[in-house]
C-alpha cells in the first residue's frame, strides 16, 4: 500500500509557458520551504475569524426558528424548509460557484461571497413573510458555500508545507466556534429584541469582516504566480510572508504549472478520477455522520431517559471535543500521512460510538465517552478538509474543495432525514446511537479502497 504521507500540494511539472528558464523564483517552492512570519500567521488568523463569522451566519436561522415559527404560525415542514435552505444552497455553491476562487482569485471570490452573505442575512431581519425569508437564506447559503473553501485554500497557500494541515484544520475549527459564540450572543439578544436581531447580528458580523478583508486580505501568492506572474508586488508579498527572495528577482512562476483545462475537468483526469470520486464518497459519509449526531444526539439522549439540560451538556462537550480532536489529527496527518490520520479517525469513531451505545448510567461514565466520540467524529471532518486541500494543486484547489464540500453537504442534508426515520422514543437508545456510526464504517471502507486501488502520491499538474 502506498503511503499518503508526502502530500504537500507541490507539483513536479513545470509550466510550458515559462519552462523553468527565465523564472527567477518558483513561488510555491519559496513559500513551501519558508519560515512563516508573524504576518503569515496573522493572515491565517484572519481566515479563521472569517470562518467564525460564516459559522455564525450559517446558524442564525436555527437560533431564530422558534420565534419565527411562533410569530408567523409556521408548521414544522415550513421551519424545516427554512433550516434546510442555506444547506442546500451551500451544496449548489460548492458545485457551481467554487471554481470562481480558481478563476478570479481567492481575494475577489472571498469579498464577493462575504458581500452576498452579509446582505442576504441582514435582509432576513426585514422579511415580511415566509417567501422572502426563504429566498434570503438561499442567497446567504450561496455566499457561504463559496466563501468557506476559498478561505481555507488561501490560509493554506500563505503557509509552508509543514503547516498546511494545521492551517486548514485551524480555519475549519473557526466554523463551529463561530456558531457556538453566536449562540451565546443570540441567547442574550433574542428575548429582548426578537428574531430580527439575530439576522442583523449575523449580517453585521459578516459585513464587519468584509470591511476588514477589503483593507487587509491579500491575494494568494500561489494564485498570483500562476495567473498574474508579471503583477507588481509579488516579491513584496512573498517576502512579507517570510520567504527569502533575491533582491534582483523579477520573474516569478509556479513549479507546478497552471491548468490548461477547466478546473472541473482537471478533477477528472485519468490520474485523478477514481480518487476524486472516492474522496467525495468519504466526504458524504463523514458529514452525514457528523450532522446525524449534532442534530439528533440531544434527542437520542432524552429518549434514553436523561433530561434536556444533560442532553445540551452532552452536545456541547461532543462539539468542543471535535475541535481538540481535529487539531490532534492534524498533527498526526503531518507526521504520518493522510492514510494513518483518517484511518485512526474512523477506527476511533467506530470504537467510541460502539462504546457510547453500550454506556449508560452515571454522567461520570458517560461524558468521557462522549468526549472521545466527539474528538474522532467531528475531528475527522476537519482532518478530511486538510487532506482534500493538500492533495489537489493550487490551480484547482478551491474547485476541488468546493466540490468535495458539496458532496459532503449532501450527506448533511441526508442526516436529518435518516434520523427522522430512526429517532423516536420507541427505538432503543443503543440502536439509534449505533446507527449513526454506519457512515464511519463506509468511510473506512472507501479509504481502504482509495489507498489500495488508487494510491495517492504527490499531486500532479492539473494538465496531466
Q: pLDDT (tens digit, 9 = 90+) per residue, 410-447?
A: 988 888 778 878 877 788 888 888 999 999 999 999 99
Identify which of 217, 236, 170, 168 has the alpha carbon closest to the alpha carbon of residue 27.
Answer: 236
Q: Which of 295-309, 323-337, 405-419 has the lowest mean pLDDT?
A: 295-309
Confidence class for position 257, pLDDT limits 50, 70, 90: low
Q: Determine the 3-state secondary structure of 26 from DSSP.
A: strand
User: What local confidence, expressed as pLDDT, does residue 6 receive?
Assistant: 33
Confidence class for position 233, pLDDT limits 50, 70, 90: confident
Residue 244 inside a domain? The answer is: yes
User: What local confidence, expressed as pLDDT, does residue 258 receive?
Assistant: 57
Same domain, 267 and 247: no
Q: How many CA atoms lie within 13 A of 96 on its CB side?
A: 11
Same domain, 17 and 166: yes
Q: How many domains does the chain have?
A: 2
Same domain, 108 and 220: yes
Same domain, 240 and 377: no
Residue 304 inside a domain? The answer is: yes
User: What local confidence, expressed as pLDDT, does residue 360 receive?
Assistant: 66
Residue 155 inside a domain? The answer is: yes
Residue 160 inside a domain? The answer is: yes
Confidence class for position 11, pLDDT limits 50, 70, 90: very low
Same domain, 214 and 324: no
Identify which of 93, 69, 83 has the alpha carbon closest to the alpha carbon of residue 146.
Answer: 93
Same domain, 287 and 189: no
Residue 4 inside a domain? The answer is: no
Same domain, 244 and 352: no
User: What local confidence, expressed as pLDDT, does residue 259 receive?
Assistant: 56
Asked if residue 38 has pLDDT above 70, the reply is: yes
Quote the strand ranges of 170-234, DSSP E. none
State which of 225, 258, 291 marks the end of a domain: 258
pTM: 0.81
Same domain, 36 and 126: yes
State which of 202, 229, 258 marks the end of a domain: 258
Asked if residue 219 has pLDDT above 60, the reply is: yes
CATH of the domain at 359: 1.20.1250.20
State which of 258, 280, 305 marks the end of a domain: 258
Residue 463 inside a domain? The answer is: no
User: What local confidence, expressed as pLDDT, does residue 2 receive?
Assistant: 33
Same domain, 209 and 65: yes
Show Cβ contacts of residue 304 under 8 Å, excluding neighbours closer than 6 positions: 360, 429
Q: Which of 43-47, 239-243, 303-307, 348-352 has the lowest mean pLDDT?
A: 303-307
Same domain, 254 and 329: no
Q: What's the alpha-carbon Rg for the chain, to the nearest Å?
A: 22
Same domain, 253 and 289: no
Q: How far is CA 103 from CA 25, 261, 268, 434, in A?
A: 23, 11, 18, 43
| Structure-block grid coordinates of residue 124 | 432576513
Same domain, 199 and 302: no
User: What local confidence, expressed as pLDDT, does residue 10 receive?
Assistant: 38
User: What average pLDDT does this structure show over 324-344?
Assistant: 91
Domain that holds residue 64: 9-258
Amino acid at each position: 500500500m502506498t503511503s499518503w504521507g508526502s502530500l504537500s500540494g507541490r507539483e513536479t511539472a513545470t509550466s510550458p509557458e515559462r519552462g523553468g528558464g527565465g523564472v527567477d523564483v518558483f513561488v510555491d517552492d519559496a513559500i513551501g520551504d519558508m519560515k512563516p512570519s508573524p504576518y503569515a500567521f496573522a493572515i491565517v488568523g484572519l481566515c479563521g475569524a472569517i470562518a467564525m463569522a460564516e459559522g455564525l451566519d450559517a446558524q442564525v436561522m436555527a437560533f431564530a426558528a422558534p420565534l419565527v415559527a411562533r410569530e408567523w404560525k409556521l408548521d414544522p415542514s415550513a421551519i424545516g424548509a427554512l433550516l434546510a435552505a442555506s444547506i442546500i444552497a451551500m451544496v449548489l455553491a460548492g458545485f457551481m460557484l467554487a471554481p470562481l476562487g480558481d478563476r478570479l482569485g481567492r481575494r475577489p471570490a472571498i469579498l464577493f461571497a462575504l458581500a452576498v452573505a452579509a446582505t442576504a442575512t441582514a435582509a432576513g431581519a426585514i422579511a415580511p413573510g415566509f417567501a422572502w425569508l426563504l429566498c434570503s437564506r438561499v442567497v446567504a447559503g450561496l455566499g457561504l458555500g463559496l466563501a468557506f473553501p476559498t478561505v481555507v485554500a488561501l490560509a493554506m497557500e500563505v503557509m509552508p508545507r509543514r503547516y498546511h494541515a494545521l492551517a486548514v484544520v485551524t480555519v475549519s475549527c473557526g466554523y463551529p466556534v463561530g456558531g457556538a459564540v453566536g449562540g451565546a450572543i443570540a441567547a442574550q439578544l433574542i428575548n429582548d429584541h426578537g428574531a430580527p436581531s439575530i439576522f442583523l447580528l449575523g449580517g453585521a458580523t459578516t459585513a464587519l469582516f468584509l470591511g476588514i478583508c477589503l483593507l487587509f486580505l491579500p491575494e494568494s501568492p500561489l494564485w498570483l504566480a500562476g495567473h498574474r506572474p508579471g503583477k507588481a508586488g509579488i516579491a513584496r508579498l512573498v517576502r512579507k510572508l517570510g520567504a527569502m527572495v533575491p533582491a534582483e528577482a523579477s520573474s516569478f512562476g509556479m513549479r507546478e504549472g497552471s491548468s490548461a483545462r477547466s478546473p472541473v475537468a482537471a478533477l477528472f483526469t485519468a490520474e485523478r478520477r477514481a480518487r476524486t470520486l472516492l474522496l467525495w464518497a468519504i466526504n458524504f459519509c463523514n458529514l452525514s455522520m457528523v450532522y446525524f449526531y449534532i442534530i439528533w444526539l440531544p434527542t437520542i439522549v432524552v429518549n434514553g431517559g436523561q433530561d434536556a439540560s444533560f442532553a445540551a451538556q452532552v452536545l456541547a462537550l461532543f462539539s468542543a471535543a471535535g475541535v481538540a480532536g481535529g487539531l490532534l489529527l492534524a498533527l498526526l496527518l503531518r507526521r504520518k500521512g493522510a492514510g494513518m490520520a483518517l484511518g485512526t479517525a474512523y477506527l476511533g469513531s467506530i470504537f467510541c460510538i460502539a462504546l457510547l451505545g453500550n454506556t449508560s448510567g452515571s454522567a461520570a461514565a458517560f461524558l468521557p465517552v462522549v468526549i472521545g466520540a466527539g474528538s474522532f467524529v467531528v475531528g475527522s471532518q476537519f482532518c478530511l478538509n486538510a487532506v482534500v486541500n493538500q492533495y489537489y494543486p493550487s490551480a484547482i484547489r478551491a474547485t476541488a474543495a468546493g466540490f468535495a464540500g458539496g458532496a459532503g453537504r449532501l450527506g448533511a442534508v441526508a442526516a436529518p432525514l435518516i434520523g427522522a426515520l430512526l429517532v423516536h422514543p420507541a427505538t432503543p437508545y443503543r440502536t439509534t446511537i449505533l446507527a449513526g456510526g454506519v457512515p464511519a464504517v463506509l468511510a473506512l471502507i472507501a479509504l481502504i479502497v482509495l489507498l489500495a486501488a488508487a494510491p495517492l502520491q504527490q499531486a500532479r499538474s492539473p494538465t496531466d
